[in-house]
Amino acid sequence: MPKIGQAHGINAREMINRSIAFYQKMFAHTCKMDWETVRTIAKDWQGISDSAETALINILILNIRTEIAFGMFNDGCTNLYWKTKGNTFLAQNWDWMEDQKQNLIILDIVNDKIPRIKMVTEAGIIGKIGLNELGVGVCLNAIKVPGCDTTRIPVHLALRLVLESSSANHAVQQLEKVGLAASAHLLIGDKEKALGLKSSAKTMMFITEDERGQILHANHLLLQHEGSVDAGWLADSPCRQRRIQELATMYGVSTDREPCMMLFVCWMIMMDFRIRFVGMRRAPWDWMRRSLV
């Protein structure tokens, strides 16, 4: 879909360049590799592609398949699916580094071969959280479990695949066939049902709706995955899990939109208190609400 990519690049050019600058700094801090070193490697890729008479992108994919799948940087968040008698909701808040906030964009993807998609993403990333015109939506929780299977697809490509699907079931069926290369929780829902797809590099498990029609999730494993150990990346994740469960129980008897909104309003107030008075380093971004009806 080259035209979609071109529109993304033209309309978000400045933000994409800022995203590159943001991750240049992050790479230097986290993996001690500067951007020029990476560019030097890329020159070798160009030489290979020229000699092999194939597109540079093909060599690039071959050489960074592991980094695409496992070396990416993900966020911390809390999300929910909530089906009531009158409405169905899929929602999440999103905690990440403030320097990257300015590079958030909303993609409106129109293509005859797939449903229309609206997606909140970082400029330059083709798959993130969003909703399509058929009412299929997806939210994301990062899970820090070591391991990567390079025969499976990257998490961000999996998110895009969900948004190109005709139903939650269809999305799950596709992901079961290809698998996710690294650990993540994808909350996939439509107006009829939802599944929490919990993946590690070795396993794939599912969380179903509870008796209130809800799925609630933060950033740690809720199910036991054989051979996988949660590294406990975000220490506040169990606290957030308990809190959203408490709030969902408190508001769970209602069928209106407002209680769902209040879950995240209450959560944001609590997070703001913790940041200002406890000194949390991560700051919450604006929460996001979607109705799937």
CATH number for the domain spanning 212: value is: 3.60.60.10
Domain total of the chain: 2
The residue from 14, 34, 69 where one domain ends is 69
Residues 38 and 12 in one domain: yes
Share of the chain above pLDDT 70, in %: 68
Same domain, 55 and 143: no
Asked whether residue 65 falls in the same domain as residue 79, the answer is no
Q: What pLDDT, in 10s, does the model give residues 267-293?
A: 444 433 333 333 333 333 333 333 343
Type and span of the H or E element at 117: strand 114-122
Best mean pLDDT range from 111-120, 207-216, 233-242:
111-120
Tokens coding 92: 């999440």
Q: What is the mean pLDDT of residues 176-201?
A: 88
pLDDT band per the 50, 70, 90 thresholds, residue 32: low
CA distance 74 to 69: 11
- Most confidently modeled of 72-81, 83-92, 247-256, 280-289? 83-92
Residues 205 and 174 sit within 8 Å (Cβ to Cβ): no
The boundaries of the domain holding residue 24 are 2-69
Q: What's the rounded Cα separation, in Å, for the pair 274 and 135?
A: 35
Do residue 31 and residue 138 come from a single domain?
no
H or E segment at 120?
strand 114-122
Contact 89, 292 (CB under 8 A): yes
The reply to whether 287 and 203 lie within a common domain is yes
pLDDT, tens only, 219-253: 666 555 455 455 555 566 677 767 777 777 776 65
The count of residues in the chain is 293
Q: Are 7 and 130 in the same domain?
A: no
